[in-house]
Structure 1
Amino acid sequence: MGKEILVVGAGLAGMTAALKLVEYGAAVTLVSPAYSERAQSVMAMGGINAALNTKQEDDSPEQHFEDTMRGGSFINDPEAVENLVRTAPEIIRWLEELGVNFTRDEQGRVDLRNFGGQKKKRTAYAGARTGKQISTALIAACRKHEAAGAIRRLTGWRFYYLLLEDKECAGAVILREDTNEWQSITADAVIMAVGGPNGVFGQTTGSRLNDGYAAGRLLLQGIELANLEMIQYHPTTVYTASKQMLITEAARGVGGRLFVPKEGKPWYFMEEWYPEQGALMPRDVVSQSIHKVCNELGLGIDGKSYVYLDVSHLPRQVIDAQLDEVVSVCRKYLKLDPYKEPIPVAPGIHYFMGGIKTDKEHRTNIKRLFAAGECSAQYHGANRLGGNSLLGALCGGFFAAKSAGSADPIDHAVANRLGEQGVEAALLDLRQWDQLPRGSQGKFLELRKELSEIMYGSMGIYRKERELLKAKKRLEAMREEAGRVRHPCRFYETRTLDANLLLALAMVESALERKESRGAHQRTDFAEKNDGRFKKSSSALYDNKTVNIAFM
């Protein structure tokens, strides 16, 4: 009988893992709060990196490795990055076989373009909707296996907590959010593919479905997290009433220019400061440069923290073919015409390099527990290169599936006992929540709003000790307050706030302890990089009401 594997999350990492597990003969349960069509993966516009070397630029996996390590400021796991870049061409071929409609060059090959932090063209793309194209192909492949019974999909269910005993995972308890139903799923292995913790900050470019509950709960259960201080601000986003909207890096990859008015004419500051790569420097560098232009030089548009991104000089056919999603966002949300007008953009939270600490095989510090995609930390270090997120999700799915598929069979008697105990404990949690004062809705909403304000205030592009210490103190107090309030009608929302507060505290503690500036983590009070002490990943472990931070 094949292994039984639980995959939590149905974006690209989760679906890839499920598909590869079926190849290994496993029976897969795929759990997610919504259908894969709503996963954050669908939003990815720019592309996926692979050193295919079809542009006569002498590209290679070795150079992809060097760019990725340099972009991550050398705290990414070199063995994992080696796997990433070596597997990338195979992943592109696999996607082609699944039917992904990549944009082609004149010779009919997968076309490649420039992306930030890379001197060679190695980003494959499918117009301006690469994420949608890849997701569509994987969804179709999964449905075939669902029809055959190899993949069981549970949609509308949330991860609640792991079934653990003696640092060994036996499955998970899941919750149907709208009805508060519970079930335990025992498994020979569990793969977490739950995305980044957008809910800790609230307003990000990412999906609100990726709320950060899972990472906070895993931290509480003793799972080791890494590099939580490394949070990527994408340099070109636009603000809307509901969320930050991304203006893809592809706009700069095809020749878009960043500027502000200075002395009556456009000043292309990135091209002056970084003449070799200009606006295609790594994202942390571009975001920090925009911050400097707006906050130190006072040249932001209309006195705000915005600069212009101009694509109006590009040929119309280039915009139509590669930036149609940008045109749609600008017309719908900004009421401007990017064919004629520059786009006002500002840095916004886009990606979390930190997450569940995994090795090159995507193993965690808990036996039988694996992680893949944005929730897993090993590939990107201090800053992710554009085009490496889709690659990391798919590569993570490949390796996590291989590792989970080779796990030893579980003791089903032990797993069933843990499953029964897990559901009983979850029902007790629900009863305790129901006894909390119903008049505390106002306080709950206040805490949720304050969490966002604290995190943006202390964990921005630049950080300093005074603000971090202030945030730490307040977050500790808020955790106590949150234990006495409740969302008026949603149990899961109440528990998500608890988990978000713990995860936020771990992020702030990690930023406090990294007393240097590296990649996405910039300290005004420790402005230099300190390789002697901190050319290492940070580690966060929760023990006896304390978050312990170490570097290793």
Structure 2
Amino acid sequence: MSINIIGAGLAGLSAALTLAEQGVPCNLVSYAPSERSQSVMAEGGINAALDTSGEHDTIEEHYADTIKGGVYLADENAVWGLCSHAPEIVTKLDRLGVPFSHNDKGIVQRYFGGQKKKRTAYVKASTGKMLVTALIDEVRKYEVKGLITRYPRHRFVQLILDNGACQGVQIADRFTGESIMLSGAVIIACGGMAGLFDGMTTGSTHNTSDVAAALFAQGVELSNLEFIQYHPTTIGISGKRLLISEAARGEGGRLFVRHNGEPWYFMEEKYPELKNLMPRDVVSAEMVAVTSRDDCEDQVYLDMTGIDKKVWKTRLSDLRDQCVHYIAVDPMKEPIPVSPGIHYFMGGIWVDEHHRTNIKNLYAAGECACQYHGANRLGGNSLLGAIYGGRVAAECIMKNRIEETNIGVQHTTYSEVSPLLAERISTILYRALPIMRNETDMKAAQQELNAMFTPDLNEAEKRRLSLALAMVRSAIERKESRGAHKRVDYPERDDASFRKQSVVRFENDQITLSLRDIPERRSE
């Protein structure tokens, strides 16, 4: 019996490698090869308190910035584990051949949003691609030994449950339609829920959200769905948003809006300490605020013309190539128009600090899980969270091996969401859950989504609608402003009532929501 990993991006690769290094066989299941995973698209870097810049950076400061950036909603024990293991993880990646920028002091690090120290290791603006490549090479060594078996073109269909515990998973070959039953514990590493906002995110079009929707329908709890990160600097292109990496601002890029006809560098005036590198939720909200003013134009620009030519050549050449290719603007020579776009889902499958879900023998890691980021993710922590989370989930499984059972035949038919319905759901959610929200619009969306349940829907369509409703319900019930969840009708943070995780569950065809206390930090 093998461990089954659903998803072959960084979280899935990390889990597989952790198991294989200990001689534990696993199946690595994915819709497409790892080279096509969303992890490849991550640009800016990976955080670790290496202190190679001589700024006296520490693990404690990385931890504090992460907790503060997440507006005190993240599990502090989990975040401490993440930050304390970060230097070792980045050092290991360096040994595996990731071509991080180096100087005579070691790995070069850059500034990233919400952090006062240079803490982000990088490979130009293609860090995710290089990390995935390095882990693929390591995983292949264990594929040859038979410890890792690839299923590189397969869909998740359903969990195999018995008496409330996960005993395996059903997958299907998306080329032949063949259904396959795999027994053993399951790690979900399927990525974020970009499919709920089809065409409106920076994420991969492969991330349909249908795995999360199927799990939700089977009783898996989801948490913090209301926290959706709008990245400040994106550009609309065909079918999605193009990400302009935070690395651009880390290297000196400046945001401005024309105020009474003159450039106004509003972030530098309002936030003199971190300036353009405030946390992403703050920057996005400020962009909305200034473009709503009568004395400002309705377009924000990112000015990178002051960045040194050497920096462009050695650190940002791929970002420049993207701008020239997709929008025909050379950012070395003129500012580029940018606007906030959906980039990351802080919420997802509820897990504890060991990445266990509410279902026995089921684990989750990476963006599909709710761990580490609280109400807002710091740039550079997603790649770290994926690698560390995949490792923690695998280690926990090895400590809690399940007995082999006969899972029998429990096949179900795979169905897909129609493009028309997907578009309708996306439009409703985008209108209801912008950067600044209000109860009237969210309740109107709730009514619209409820009205879309008709007898002709297939199971996948019902599940996606239920997931969309759970997201809206979570946002309605959080009557405060915190991190990426900003409400004009409840503009203040309410720690007394809402410094808790929102948890949704699907039971008896009904969505139930509860608020769960955040675990207290253990003394070291």
* Structure 2 CA distance for partners of 1:377 and 1:297, relative to 1, 3 Å: farther
In structure 1, the partner of 2:479 is 515
CA offset digits 1:372-391 (Å, max 9, x no partner): 00001120000000000000
Kindly indicate whether the alpha-carbon contact (under 8 Å) linking 1:200 and 1:501 is maintained by their aligned counterparts in 2: no
Aligned to 1:548, the other structure's residue is in SS state strand
In structure 1, the partner of 2:108 is 111
Structure 1 letter corresponding to 2:492: E
Higher helix share: 1
Equivalent residue for 1:80, pick from 58, 78, 81: 78
In structure 2, the partner of 1:61 is 59
Equivalent residue for 1:456, pick from 426, 430, 436: 430
In structure 1, the partner of 2:12 is 14
Sequence identity percentage: 48
Cα distance in 1 between the residues matched to 2:419 and 2:347? 27
User: Can you give the 5+ residue segments of structure 2 that lack an aligned partner in the other structure?
Assistant: 517-524
Say yes or no: does 1:505 pair with 2:469. yes
Structure 2 letter corresponding to 1:197: M
Aligned-residue offset at 1:242: 2.0
Structure 1 letter corresponding to 2:337: P
Aligned to 1:377, the other structure's residue is in SS state coil
Give the number of equivalent residue pairs: 515
Q: TM-score, normalised by structure 1?
A: 0.91
Structure 2 letter corresponding to 1:463: R
Kindly indicate whether the alpha-carbon contact (under 8 Å) linking 2:233 and 2:340 is maintained by their aligned counterparts in 1: yes
Cα distance in 2 between the residues matched to 1:379 and 1:541? 21
Q: TM-score, normalised by structure 2?
A: 0.96
Kindly indicate whether the alpha-carbon contact (under 8 Å) linking 2:124 and 2:318 is maintained by their aligned counterparts in 1: no
Structure 1 letter corresponding to 2:367: E
Structural RMSD (CA): 1.5
Kindly indicate whether the alpha-carbon contact (under 8 Å) linking 1:229 and 1:511 is maintained by their aligned counterparts in 2: yes
Structure 1 residues 174-189: aligned runs within 5 Å: 174-187=171-184, 189=185
Pick which of 91-100 and 42-51 moved more.
91-100
Kindly indicate whether the alpha-carbon contact (under 8 Å) linking 1:233 and 1:284 is maintained by their aligned counterparts in 2: yes
Equivalent residue for 1:294, pick from 291, 294, 304: 291
Aligned to 2:487, the other structure's residue is in SS state coil
Kindly indicate whether the alpha-carbon contact (under 8 Å) linking 2:446 and 2:473 is maintained by their aligned counterparts in 1: yes
Aligned-residue offset at 1:496: 4.2
Cα distance in 2 between the residues matched to 1:208 and 1:498? 20
Aligned-residue offset at 1:297: 4.5
* Structure 2 CA distance for partners of 1:298 and 1:383, relative to 1, 3 Å: farther
Equivalent residue for 2:196, pick from 184, 189, 200: 200
Cα distance in 1 between the residues matched to 2:176 and 2:448? 33
Kindly indicate whether the alpha-carbon contact (under 8 Å) linking 2:260 and 2:295 is maintained by their aligned counterparts in 1: no
Aligned-residue offset at 1:179: 3.2
CA offset digits 1:52-98 (Å, max 9, x no partner): 11222111111111100000000101010010001101101221222
User: Can you give the 5+ residue segments of structure 1 that lack an aligned partner in the other structure?
Assistant: 434-440, 486-493
In structure 1, the partner of 2:274 is 277
* Structure 2 CA distance for partners of 1:495 and 1:313, relative to 1, 3 Å: farther
In structure 1, the partner of 2:381 is 388
Say yes or no: does 1:372 pair with 2:356. no
Equivalent residue for 1:543, pick from 489, 507, 510: 507
Equivalent residue for 1:397, pick from 367, 376, 390: 390
In structure 2, the partner of 1:469 is 443
Aligned to 2:103, the other structure's residue is in SS state coil
Equivalent residue for 1:315, pick from 277, 288, 308: 308
Structure 1 residues 73-472: aligned runs within 5 Å: 73-107=71-105, 109-187=106-184, 189-202=185-198, 203-297=200-294, 299-300=296-297, 303=298, 306-413=299-406, 416-417=407-408, 420=409, 422-423=410-411, 426-427=412-413, 444-472=418-446
Aligned-residue offset at 1:180: 2.5
Say yes or no: does 1:534 pair with 2:506. no
Cα distance in 1 between the residues matched to 2:318 and 2:208? 25
Kindly indicate whether the alpha-carbon contact (under 8 Å) linking 1:358 and 1:377 is maintained by their aligned counterparts in 2: yes
In structure 2, the partner of 1:39 is 37
Structure 1 letter corresponding to 2:30: S
